[in-house]
A and B are shown apart, each in its own frame.
Chain A
Amino acid sequence: MEISSDPASPLLEVRGISKSFGAVRALQEVDFTLRAGEIHALLGENGAGKSTLIKVVTGVFARDAGIVRISGEEVAPRSAKAALGAGIATVYQEVNLLPNLSVAQNLFLDRQPMRFGIVREGEMRRRAKALLADFGLDIDVAAPLGNYSVAIQHVTAIARAMDLSARVLILDEPTASLDRHEVEILFGIMRKLAGRGIGIVFVSHFLDQVYEISDRITVLRNGRLVGERETASLPRLELIRMMLGRELAETTSARASATEHEAREICASFEGYGKAGYVAPFNLELRHGEVVGLAGLLGSGRTETARLVFGAERADRGQAKVGGAPVRLQTPRDGVRHGFGYCPEERKTDGIVAELSVRENIVLALQAKRGLHRPLSRREQDEIARRYVKMLDIRPPDPERPVGLLSGGNQQKVLLARWLATSPRLLVLDEPTRGIDVGAHAEIIRLIRELCDDGLSLLVISSELDEIVTYSDRVVVLRDRAHVEELAGGAIDVGNILAAIAADGAATAHEGRA
């Protein structure tokens, strides 16, 4: 798989690319250069033109102007398949594979080894196994791809692309739903591929990861090229300034002391709450005006805890209380009735109704809570939608736009609005900032704090420990589907959380409250 090319001549050269959609100029004379063996981060806020640039390069969109060269040779792919033929492979955030087919079938889709017109399953599995072994993966390739974690699905997609002899690999937000360990595996693979001379374009919102893995950074803003820099010589503040074109407000935490929070009224409590094979019984108290963070690796039971608390999953033991009174939480309707709200991790599949308008999405939970016979009039709906579009700065500020056309950050705000409209007492937010650009990210965190100051109780899951430390009053750490540690006040820092996550089972079996 070694690639012999002149190191001086770039592997992928994009020059003067422009692309408009109607009156919207998505890209204006953008240049981009990828050298062989380089990991090149492509950064910018949502709407900066990253996706458009990738889609123009890979032939999904036709370009209005400009040229694309691969190893000095001009190419003009008209489809993703043609782009692959030219040596450009793309792995998107939502992996474009078929979850119901086996891993092996996905790897050899469209090119299964055949004999007499019959697919040679054994041969295919053997080759699939060998291919994945090259990426350090030893899994049952006959099992459906959907059974595996997103990380493995990503690696499968990359392996497929590499086996199709791609020279340019574009990874669009590959780490968005991976935990730390999985990110390490992916980075290992990326370094290995770069070592073989593959050029990798890395699109990500995680600046830490960008600094960890990339050699070079190209920043886009509003469809224009801002600049290309060596990662090593670009200070983080300078990078953020390039991306946002403005100074970021300070984002340090100023949470009140723990003792003050002990005095706050209890909003909801869970005693010995759990479900066999789902998450071990836990005790959890949620107070008004308090943010409780749930930290842990993917699969540690964070989302499971959130779903139990909201009522999306039925507990088979323990007691839930709201305002001191025992309650039954068996369905989301129960949760909604008790004033709970839940913004799930998977916005597209579990959150928004893409086809319906921003207005309809916002009023959905409130309407469900009020019941069929008390419909919100159109005027009331307009009023509510207008209020939250303004309050949360949802863009574009058009309540009648189908929500599926909004960016990820704005969809998240619509979901927040949906629950805020129900005047909840407890909001459960599962990865509220995932896949959201830097600007919206800071806004969501600001919102979390404001809501908390208004007396709302929040339970927030995040993979970003810095973020959790910033807004949490208490942090519950999970490991292997059990709550293993609770940190409060001054004890909340990234180091302590990491220590609790990494600690050996027996050492932290006690429920500690520092």
Chain B
Amino acid sequence: MIALLPRRGLAQILALIVILAVDRVVSPQFFDLRLQDGRLFGSLIDVLNRGTPVALLSLGMVLVIATRGIDLSVGAVMAICGAIAASLADSHGLPVVLAAALGAGLVCGLWNGFLVAVLGMQPIVATLILMVAGRGIAQLITEGRIVTFSSPDLVWLGNGSVLGLPVPVVIALGMLILTGAVVRGSALGLLIEATGGNARASELAGVGTRAMILAVYVWCGVCAALAGVIAAADIMGADANNAGLWLELDAILAVVIGGTSLFGGRFSLVLAVLGALIIQTMNTGILLSGYPPEFNLLVKAVVVLAVLLLQSPKFSGLAGIAARLRRTKA
């Protein structure tokens, strides 16, 4: 497994390098970094900072997808939790704001997990419910307005810096480490992969597959909540209509680019986050190039196709084909 990791991540790392090189061509200052007021600035930092919401979403999404599920509601959960945070920010302290927002994300995750794990609904349908309803809930919270706030604590969460790095980036890094420690430090990782690989067999082996599934949706909700808070803090307000809009698709894309199959099983947290960074590096590059934003979607599609082709066994040379044949034979 460990020996396989570099090979598994090769396509993603290659893709990132190529995109970075292209970015360098369209924007010669791309790799420039400067320190100002104890904080780093530059396009690379911008990529990390802007990529944070999708990176956070992909951390939850990759676990859900590993169990052979999917969570379409994460964008809506971002909106709900952003709205809650914005509404409470000027009247309560940061701990209360965070607890309320993350708590709401947890409840959203529980709801999804309940529908999928306990009622046995198909994940895509089950989470569609909250995807639709969630945005409505968020609008009810903001009463249809864009709620702004000026609480310096919450603003710091979106715009402050720690050790020269933007706070959102530090939070995302922390969440990656925390998720990794929980998932790989306990037996969770193995049991999630087993559940996604073959739920029936895992159940018969004594794995609590329902608990596994419930847990990953809850975690996905919490990650989405955090992304929502950061997105709100970033713009110092909550826009129920647009916060996190379509980001569930970027998150799914990030996971897929990271090499985790939608059929569940093997997953990689690091590669999913790398996938999120690849997406953001593209976005930033196109923005810097001065091409119209419409161009963005097309380029994104082409790059995604390229990364997936690189991962496809049929395209990874003769060795890949031979390996596949051996597999078929066995």
Q: A352-B198, A364-B194 are in contact. Are A375 and B206 (CB under 8 A)?
A: no
- Is A357 touching B191 in the complex (CB atoms < 8 A)? no
User: Is B50 an interface residue when CB atoms closer than 8 A count as contact?
Assistant: no
Note all chain B residues with C-beta closer than 8 A to A123: none
Q: Which residues of B contact A354 (CB under 8 A)?
A: 197-198
When A and B form their complex, which 7 residue pairs have the shortest distance between CB atoms, in order from nearest? A336-B206, A353-B197, A368-B206, A375-B187, A405-B330, A365-B205, A353-B198
Tell me if B265 is interfacial: C-beta within 8 Å of chain A: yes
Chain A residues with CB below 8 A from B188, complex form: 372
| 26 A-B residue pairings within 8 Å (CB atoms) | A51-B329, A55-B329, A60-B328, A61-B328, A312-B204, A332-B204, A349-B200, A349-B201, A350-B204, A352-B201, A353-B265, A355-B193, A355-B265, A356-B193, A356-B266, A363-B190, A365-B205, A368-B191, A372-B191, A373-B186, A373-B187, A375-B185, A375-B187, A400-B1, A405-B330, A418-B205
Question: Quick check: is A371 within 8 A (CB to CB) of the other chain?
Answer: yes
Task: Among A21, A360, A371, A375, point to the contact of B194 (Cβ < 8 A).
Answer: A360
Check B327–A405 contact: CB distance below 8 A. Answer: yes
Which residues on B sit within 8 Å (CB–CB) of A470? none
B179 CB to closest chain A CB (Å) equals 15
B190-219 contact mask (Cβ, 8 Å, vs A): 1 or 0: 110110011011111111100000000000
Given contacts A21-B326, A376-B187, 20 further A-B contacts (CB under 8 A): A21-B325, A61-B325, A333-B206, A350-B204, A351-B204, A352-B198, A353-B198, A355-B197, A356-B190, A356-B193, A357-B1, A360-B193, A364-B202, A367-B190, A368-B191, A368-B208, A372-B188, A375-B185, A405-B326, A406-B330
Residues of B within 8 A of A374 (CB): 187
Residues of A within 8 A of B1 (CB): 357, 400
Contact between A353 and B206, CB atoms less than 8 A apart:
no
B322 at the interface (CB under 8 A from A): yes
Q: Residue of B at shortest CB range from A401?
A: B330
Contact: A21 with B322, CB < 8 Å?
A: yes
Query: How large, as a class, is the contact surface on chain B?
Result: 20 to 34
Nearest CB of chain B from residue A48's CB, rounded to whole Å: 13
Q: What residues of B have a CB within 8 angstroms of the CB of A365 in the complex? A: 205-206
Report Cα–Cα, A400/B266, bound state, in Å.
14
Q: Output the least CB separation between A35 and chain B (Å).
A: 28
- Would you call A22 an interface residue if the criterion is a C-beta within 8 Å of the partner chain's C-beta atoms? yes
Decide yes or no whether A388 CB sits under 8 A from chain B. no
Contacts of B325 in A (CB 8 A): 21, 61
Taking CB atoms and an 8 Å cut-off, the chain A residues in 344-402 that contact chain B are 344, 349-357, 360, 363-365, 367-376, 400
Q: Which residues of A contact B (CB under 8 A)?
A: 21-22, 24, 26, 51-52, 55, 60-61, 310, 312, 332-333, 335-337, 342, 344, 349-357, 360, 363-365, 367-376, 400, 404-407, 418
Q: Which residue of A lies closest to B264 (CB)?
A: A355
Q: Tell whether A364 pairs with B205 under 8 Å between CB atoms, given A356-B197, A374-B187, A406-B330.
A: yes
Residues of B within 8 A of A55 (CB): 329
Q: Separation in Å of the A131 CB from the closest CB of chain B?
A: 32
Whole-angstrom distance between the Cβ of B254 and the nearest chain A Cβ: 21
Determine the chain A residues whose CB is within 8 A of the CB of B200 once the complex forms. Answer: 349-350
State whether A368 touches B198 (Cβ < 8 A).
no
**Majority secondary structure, B binding face:** helix
Question: Are A371 and B206 closer than 8 Å at their CB atoms?
Answer: no
Known: A353-B201, A354-B198, A355-B266. A364 touches B326 (CB 8 A): no
B326 lies within 8 A of A371 (CB): no
Contacts of B190 in A (CB 8 A): 356, 360, 363-364, 367, 375
Which residues on the B side are within 8 Å of A406 (C-beta)?
Answer: 330
On chain A, the residues within 8 Å of B203 by CB distance are 332
Q: In this complex, what residue of B is CB-closest to A351? A: B201
Interface string of B137-166 (1 = CB under 8 A from A): 000000000000000000000000000000
Please give, as numbers and ranges, the residues of chain A lying within 8 Å of B193 by CB-CB distance: 353, 355-356, 360
Docked CA distance A407–B1 (Å): 22
Whole-angstrom distance between the Cβ of B63 and the nearest chain A Cβ: 14
Q: How many Å lie between the Cα of A19 and that of B193 in the bound state?
A: 35
Decide if A371 touches B187 in the complex (CB within 8 Å).
yes
Q: Write the chain B residue with the least CB distance to A407.
A: B330
A376 and B185 alpha carbons, distance in the complex (Å): 10
Cα–Cα distance between A351 and B200 once the two chains are bound (Å)? 8
| A395 → chain B closest CB, angstroms | 11
Q: For residue B266, give the distance in angstroms from its CB to the closest CB of chain A.
A: 6
Contact with A along B308-330 (1 / 0, CB 8 A): 00000000000000100111111
From B187, B197, B202, B329, give the contact of A26 (CB < 8 A): B329
Contact A369 B206, beta carbon cutoff 8 Å: yes
**Min C-beta distance of B318 to chain A, whole Å:** 10
CA distance in complex: A38, B31 (Å): 75
**A497 CA to B191 CA in the complex, in Å?**
42
B208: chain A residues within 8 A (beta carbon) = 333, 368
| Contact among B194, B201, B328 with A350 in the assembled complex (CB-CB below 8 Å) | B201
CB distance from B224 to the nearest CB of A (A): 23
Contacts of B329 in A (CB 8 A): 21, 26, 51-52, 55, 61
Q: Give the complex CA separation of A6 and B330 in angstroms.
A: 38
> What's the Cα separation between A513 and B248 when bound, in Å?
64
A342 contact set on B, CB distance < 8 A: 204
CB distance from A96 to the nearest CB of B (A): 14
* Cα distance, A369 to B205, chains bound together (Å): 9
Query: From A369, which residue of chain B is reached at the shortest CB distance?
Result: B206
State in angstroms the CA–CA spacing of A367 and B328 once bound together.
30
Q: Which residue of A lies closest to B327 (CB)?
A: A405
- Give the residues in chain A near B201, CB-CB below 8 Å: 349-353
B140 to chain A, nearest CB (A): 37
Most buried by B among A337, A352, A357: A352
What residues of A have a CB within 8 angstroms of the CB of B191 in the complex? Answer: 364, 367-368, 372
Contact A367 B187 (CB under 8 A): yes
What is the chain A residue whose CB lies nearest that of B210? Answer: A331
| In the bound complex, CA of A332 to CA of B325 (Å) | 36
